[in-house]
Amino acid sequence: MAVFVLDKHGKPLMPCSEKRARLLLQRRRARVHRLIPFVIRLTDRLAADSECQPLRLKLDPGSKETGVAIVREVASDVGGAPDAFVLSLAEIIHRGRKISEALTARCSMRRARRGRNTRYRAPRFDNRRRPTGWLAPSLRHRVDTTAAWVSRFIRLAPLSALSMELVRFDMQAMENPEISGIEYQQGTLLGYEVKEYLLAKFGRVCSYCDASDCPLETEHIVAKANGGSSRVSNLTLACRPCNQKKGDLPLEAFLRKDPERARRILARAKAPLRDAAAVNATRFALLDAIKAFGLPVETGSGGQTKFNRRRLEVPKSHALDAVCVGHVDSIANWQRPVLRIKCTGRGNYQRTRLTAHGFPRGYLMRSKRAFGFQTGDMVKAVVPSGKKAGTHVGRVAIRATGSFNIQTAAGPVQGISYKHCKLIQRGDGYGYSFVPPSTMESETRSDASRRALSLPGLKAEVSRAN
């Protein structure tokens, strides 16, 4: 992975190789500016004395993950689209779903507070207008996080242009590939109310026990408590006993003794289109956000990205999809480690842990800092003896007692004294890990995100510098 380089005044220079960065650190011509992403700052050079080649940052926006690639563009020998030499790959893991769940929990707590036997709190008048371009917090998070990392990479590398995949999903065609013409205007419930539509669809019987001639209720196949939507494709009919017995259980668990029935019900359910809707809602907001940086912006379609990836025989991943965005003739040096950037947030205001019934079960610290450390900081703990003897590097979770937990690449390590911990990098709301290029095809993203890869050859220099 290329190392970002700054001049003595913090201006970005051309990234260098890991070997060159190691030599600069050994000869005291550079200092470690930041650990992840790894940045060095030269002590004897100015940006005015250096020449920079054209670099382009490419984005592949997604609902859960966004791919980022920094490439050096070289004019093609045959003309036309340029060649892309990959310098850095990254994937931003969003937390929009967690934000949505937190807001839902806060809403339910406020509603319960108004219903309990406490002082009366009159609801505010609903006269607050949403501004033009308003997005839900979970969607705004995707836009703001991506724009923040684009801004950070602009400060770390001499970027001259940006590229972004501007994709639009046809969600009706995703549900019904044979749709055409006027059917786009009619929709699923043409001529029906929801309940009548379900009665006609399921033959006026309970989907779980085949009961008929009894009142039938609308049932969510995937419960709303588990993230299910109220789309018609997620609704079925059930009698009251079956509806109450199922509750928020997954369908497979509720019908574990009748898997064939569960299979038939799931065959009628459609895949949720929440992710496609999120990308559709944020694509122009993200485009406007990156245009505000003042660099030339190139947009490409999803079909063009897929065509480039298949033509160049590149594996499927968000980071490599970003490399294939826009006009590109060939790709070189794409087998690089991928920096996984997981959005973790900076904590919350909740001061208690709650049981399943909403009762407090302990109180959290009032202070966010203890013994000079804060939850989310990257630390290096050298334990000389005991069951946990060794060196542990990762994100720390603090306790008032001074016994910390460290989340390492191999898993959590509990009960590490603060006396053995040394700060490497302050927490900035993100968790970092590296995915080796050899695992991109054989591992899933969830498996790969648990593995870490240190920058080769720089570990010893970083340890000395810190």
9-62 pLDDT, tens digit per residue, is 999 999 999 999 999 999 999 999 999 999 999 998 888 888 888 899 999 999
What integer pLDDT is reported at residue 443 of this predicted model? Answer: 37
pLDDT one-digit tens code per residue, 73-131:
888 766 667 889 999 999 999 999 999 988 888 888 777 776 677 777 677 777 778 88
Distance CA 54, CA 180 (A): 45
What is the CATH architecture assignment of 187-268? Orthogonal Bundle (1.10)
Distance CA 221, CA 262 (A): 10
Residues 6+ apart with CB under 8 A from 162: 56, 57, 58, 59, 150, 290, 293, 295, 296, 297, 298
The pLDDT of residue 460 is above 50: no
**Burial 333-369, CB ≥16 within 10 A → b, else e:** ebebbbbbbbbbeeeeeeeeeeeeeeeeeeeeeeeee
What integer pLDDT is reported at residue 66 of this predicted model? Answer: 95
Superfamily of domain 3-96+135-170+276-343: Ribonuclease H-like superfamily/Ribonuclease H (3.30.420.10)
pLDDT one-digit tens code per residue, 225-284:
888 888 778 888 899 999 999 988 888 889 988 888 888 888 776 656 678 888 888 999
Distance CA 239, CA 213 (A): 10
Distance CA 210, CA 206 (A): 5
Residue span(s) of the chain under CATH 1.10.30 come to 187-268
What integer pLDDT is reported at residue 451 of this predicted model? Answer: 37
**Mean pLDDT for the stretch of residues 146-158:** 96
Q: What are phi and psi of 237, to 5 degrees?
A: -115, 145
The pLDDT of residue 160 is above 90: yes
Distance CA 233, CA 221 (A): 9
Map residue 307 onto helix, strand or coil.
helix
User: What is the tally of helices (H) and strands (E) in the chain?
Assistant: 14, 23
Phi/psi zone of residue 246: left (φ > 0), alpha (ψ -120 to 50 degrees), beta? alpha
Distance CA 320, CA 352 (A): 42
| Residue 391, strand partner residues | 382
For the entire predicted model, the pTM comes to 0.77
Q: What are phi and psi of 447, to 5 degrees?
A: -70, -40
Fold of 367-428: SH3 type barrels. (2.30.30)
Give the residue carrying structure tokens 């960065």.
21
Pairing, β 297-300 against β 330-332: unpaired
299: its two tokens: 């947009």
Distance CA 188, CA 172 (A): 9
Phi/psi zone of residue 77: left (φ > 0), alpha (ψ -120 to 50 degrees), beta? alpha
What integer pLDDT is reported at residue 203 of this predicted model? Answer: 80
Residue span(s) of the chain under CATH 3.30.420.10 come to 3-96+135-170+276-343
Mean pLDDT across the chain: 84
Please state which of the ranges 202-206, 268-272, 350-354 shows the lowest mean pLDDT: 268-272
Please say whether the beta carbons of 170 and 316 come within 8 A: no
79: its two tokens: 């003309």
Give the burial class of 50: count Cβ atoms within 10 A of its Cβ; 0-12 exposed, 13-18 middle, 19 or more buried.
middle
Distance CA 303, CA 301 (A): 5
Q: Could you tell me what percent of the chain has a pLDDT over 90?
A: 44
The 10 Å Cβ neighbour count of residue 310 is 11
359: its two tokens: 């009762």
More confident residue, 217 or 119: 217
Q: Could you tell me what percent of the chain has a pLDDT over 70?
A: 85
Residue span(s) of the chain under CATH 2.30.30.520 come to 367-428
389 pLDDT tier (thresholds 50, 70, 90): very high
Distance CA 358, CA 57 (A): 46
Q: How far is CA 68 from CA 14, 156, 278, 340, in A?
A: 18, 14, 18, 10
Q: What are phi and psi of 166, to 5 degrees?
A: -105, 90
